[in-house]
Every structure is written in C-alpha cells, then in structure tokens.
Amino acid sequence: MEGWDPTTKSTLTQIPLLTVKAGPRDGAAWTQRLKEEYKVLIAYTSMNKSRDNDWFRISAANPEGTRWTGKCWYVHNLLKYEFDLQFDIPVTYPATAPELELPQLDGKTHKMYRGGKICLTVHFKPLWAKNSPRFGIAHALCLGLAPWLAAEIPVLVDSGMVKHKDDAVSTSEAC
C-alpha cells in the first residue's frame, strides 16, 4: 500500500477480506463465496454512503452469480456522468479478477479493450494476484474501477469524447 493516498488506504483497510476460496465451478463452496461477496459488497456500499461517496449499484444478473450488471457514476465539474457496468465472473475466479466493462465507453480511450473492458493489467492485476483469494468484487471496484474512472472520465469529458446527458438534450432541442 506504499504510495497510495490516505483515503484509498483507509477505504481498503475497511473492506472485509474474503475467506472462502471458491469459484463458479465449486458447487456449494461457490454459494458460500457468493454469500461472502454480497456481505462485503453491502459493507463497502454502506461505508461509501456514510462518507457521501456513493458511486455504483450492482447486482447479480443470473441466479448463479456469474454475471453482474449495474451502474457506476463519476462526478466531474459538479456534473454526474453515469455508465452501465457489467462483468462476468471468470471460471478461474478468485485466482483471476473479473474484467469490468463499461460498454458505453467502448473505443473512446486507449485504456480499454474491445467490448468496453477497462484496462487493469499494469496496476491492478498484480495486486489482485498477490491478494487472491482474499479480494473479491468490492475490491475490484475499489482498486480497479474507481481509480480508472478518476483518471479517465475527466480526460474524456474535457476532450469532448463524453458528453453530459443534459448537454445531449439541450443540443437536440436546439436543432
């Protein structure tokens, strides 16, 4: 955690670590892991809300808990930019981190792969590998998606690649 800002350190130390080492192919153990994932996500969401830092909503999109969908948002210049968020749990989870996707931003930045998968290879994947299986979905959001949004969204907005929803409405009304 060397070189991290104090807020990130504080947040990370308060997100519970997971104890069940199981992936989608592990039957009853995966069900236990999934319960743990939900508990950690609830704790992380509650912590964010208590700090007035609520920035995502996700839920499992299938009963097996292998597909997740939701929304994430980032506030820049006092405007809220909201994006669809989706990801699949890899069959090799928790050894492999999920690939977080923001489909609306596909092709708008070089720090993204085809399909809107955000680039996490350089900074996040080694950290995940070092902390697997204790890290889970909440950790991927905190240490993967949150810093990516903070680094990329201001640049995308300032360059005009991303427009605020109110700008799009006022532009269409003017025509």
Cα-based angle 74, 111, 140 (whole degrees, multiple of 5): 60
Percentage, residues of the chain above pLDDT 90: 75
- Write the CB contacts of 52 (distance below 8 Å, at least 6 apart in sequence): none
Which pair of tokens denotes residue 68? 């997740």
Mean pLDDT score of the chain, rounded to an integer? 91
Residue 175 bears catalytic tag: no
CA distance to 19, 20, 75, 175, per residue, from 35 (Å): 11, 10, 31, 51
**Residue 109 or 20, more confident:** 20
Write phi, then psi, for 87 (nearest 5 degrees).
Answer: -165, 155
Catalogue the E-assigned strands of 15-126. 56-60, 67-76, 79-88, 112-113, 117-118
pTM (two decimals): 0.90
Which pair of tokens denotes residue 31? 């069900």
Predicted local confidence at residue 166, as pLDDT: 84
Predicted local confidence at residue 46, as pLDDT: 96
